Amino acid sequence: MFTTPELEAIRKDFPILFRTLADDRHLIYLDNAASTQKPKPVLQTFQKFSESSYANIHRGVYRLSLEATEAYDQARKTIANFIKAKSEVEIVFTRNATEAINLVAYGFARKYFHPGDEIVLTELEHHANLVPWQQVCQATGAKIVAIPFEPDGSIDVEKVIAAFSARTKMLAITGCSNVFGTIIPLKSIISAAKQQRIVVLVDGAQLVPHYPINVQELECDFLVASGHKMLAPSGIGFLYGRREWLALMDPMLYGGDMINEVWIDRATWAEIPNKFEAGTPNIEGAVALGKAAEYLQHIGLMRIHQHSEALANYAASALQQLPNTRVLGSSNRSGIVTFLCTDVHPHDLASFLDAEGIAIRAGHHCTQPLHRKLGVPATARASFYLYNTQDEAERLIEAVEKAIHFFSGKKVFFGQPPVLKET
């Protein structure tokens, strides 16, 4: 974990953490798996660019436009360095990880998949890494092969590898579960996929903000991430794609700035990555995303992972001691603790904690198939990040215990704690 002086210095960078709520409580923000807060360097970069350097990019020859273009292009280089891509042309700016997955599904999978082809994924996947592939299957006749998760929320590597066949065209897999916090052993899985020439897409929405990534060593073909989960503004994310695949893909959006030449009856496309960035992009967001990546690199992603995981494991251990409370997943949590209280509906619990100044998430977390297998409609999730403290984790435990006492004796929503079905 970070030392106390280090953590105090980090927290000073996040103005929202010092917000005082109506009852004079300080905000305790534990919904980082959904979206993270933004540090001063990112906020200042966004504001400064908007105030003094904004103009449309790639189209003007005047100074302001050239400055904006340089800042936008530098952000692309920063992201390429952040994940160790070979070249910045392998980075496509998107609105978020969801759009990035859809771009691959539309521009690659729909173009090259055929009836009977298979897409292997896991039961841990966020809807964003499931629904686009469902649409691909409906359009092409391909089919999904879903690997079950284990009772502790992990994925059995051998089961994934055993699912590969001559018909497997793609492996679309999360790098980290947004429910269990499980970090998937990607290297061994991808290595096996590469031996069978299977294209691999990694959903890095939860992994990239917490863990150092080297896409060349990982050997994935595609990687996606969202800026709002890694200290940047919402509405910006990126797709990493190997140059050879991006060159073969079709654009998903058409219009200005993604063309080479246009006639009345036809057009040709710009080189990568520009052919995938139609219209005026989120220029300020991209510049701020670059600054967020620099901020994370400066602190150290492995240290961020260790800090978040330690807090999550501490909270999980304490929650398990509370009456009628069940924590999902194993000790490999990557900052995420998802749990159930028998006597308290997750939405009631989240509302109760909100009154205590604590922000957590309640619901199905865009993983309805996972929750359906658990036999529950919703769970509660607390997720920690680099600016959270052990004191905040302790406050969470105290508030959950208080909620259990408050709701005890009232109608039980879940009955007995659910048991995972054997697979």
Q: What is the pTM of this model?
A: 0.94
The DSSP code sequence of 345-368 is -HHHHHHHHHHTTEE-EEE-TT-H
Structure tokens at 98: 């969801």
- Using the 8-state DSSP alphabet, how is residue 276 labeled? G
Is residue 172 packed enough to be buried (19+ CB in 10 Å), middle (13-18) or exposed (0-12)?
Answer: buried
pLDDT tier, 21 (very low <50, low <70, confident <90, very high otherwise)? confident
In this structure, how many other beta carbons lie within 10 angstroms of the beta carbon of residue 108? 23
Tokens 């969202």 -> residue: 226
The pLDDT confidence band at residue 343, using thresholds 50, 70 and 90, is: confident
Tell me the C-alpha distance between 289 and 286, whole Å. 5
Strand partners, 147: 122
**Range list for CATH 3.90.1150.10 in the chain:** 4-30+301-407
Tens of pLDDT, residues 106-146:
999 999 999 999 999 999 999 999 999 999 999 999 999 99
Structure confidence at residue 412 (pLDDT)? 39
Phi/psi for 336 (5° steps) reads -110, 130
Q: Which residues neighbour 21 within 8 Å (Cβ) at sequence distance 6 or greater?
A: 27, 357
pLDDT at residue 23 greater than cutoff 90: no
146-197: per-residue pLDDT in tens? 999 999 999 999 999 999 999 999 999 999 999 999 999 999 999 999 999 9
Q: Which CATH number fits domain 43-298: 3.30.460.80, 3.30.300.30, 3.20.20.80, 3.40.640.10?
A: 3.40.640.10
> What's the pLDDT score for residue 409?
62
Alpha carbon of 338 to those of 39, 322, 347: distances in Å? 26, 14, 13
Domain at 4-30+301-407, CATH from 3.40.50.970, 3.90.1150.10, 3.40.1030.10, 3.40.50.2000: 3.90.1150.10
Separation between Cα atoms, residue 192 and residue 24, nearest integer Å: 55
Which residues lie below 8 Å from residue 247, measured CB to CB, with a gap of 6+?
A: 272
Quickly tell me which residue has 């501490």 as its tokens.
314
Given the residues 137, 176, 220, 366, the one annotated as active site: 366
Q: What is the pLDDT of residue 26?
A: 87
Question: Rounded distance, CA 294 to CA 232, Å?
Answer: 11
Q: How confident is the model over 386-411, as a mean pLDDT?
A: 91
The pLDDT tens digits for 197-216 are 999 999 999 999 999 999 99
Which pair of structure tokens corresponds to residue 269? Answer: 């496309």
- In degrees, rounded to 5, the angle at the alpha carbon of residue 101 between the alpha carbons of residues 95 and 103 is 75
**341 part of the active site:** no
**Average pLDDT over all residues of the chain:** 94
End-to-end CA distance of the chain: 36
DSSP state of 26: B
Q: Taking CA 139 as the corner, what is the angle to CA 135 and CA 140, rounded to the nearest 5 degrees?
A: 115
Residue 11 — pLDDT band, cuts 50, 70, 90? very high
Q: How far apart are CA 322 and CA 405, in angstroms?
A: 10
Residue 14 pLDDT exceeds 50: yes
Report the C-alpha gap between 132 and 119 in whole angstroms.
11
Is the predicted pLDDT of residue 419 greater than 60, yes or no? no
**Residue whose C-alpha is closest to residue 315's, from 229, 383, 387:** 383
Burial of 382 (C-beta count, 10 Å sphere; 0-12/13-18/19+): buried
C-alpha separations of 202 from 128, 172, 369, 409 in Å = 12, 6, 19, 45
Buried b (16+ CB within 10 A) or exposed e, 136-165: bbeebebeebebbbeeebbbebeebbebbe
Which residues of the chain does CATH 3.40.640.10 include?
43-298
To which residue do tokens 């695949």 refer? 245
Enumerate helices (H) and strands (E) in the chain, giving the number of each: 15, 15
Structure tokens at 231: 């200290």
- Percent pLDDT > 90 in the chain is 92
- What whole-number distance in Å separates Cα of residue 121 and Cα of residue 38? 32
Label residue 113 left, alpha or beta by phi (over 0 means left) and psi (-120 to 50 means alpha): beta
Closest CA to 382 of 126, 29, 37, 35: 29
Residue position matching structure tokens 């290297």: 187
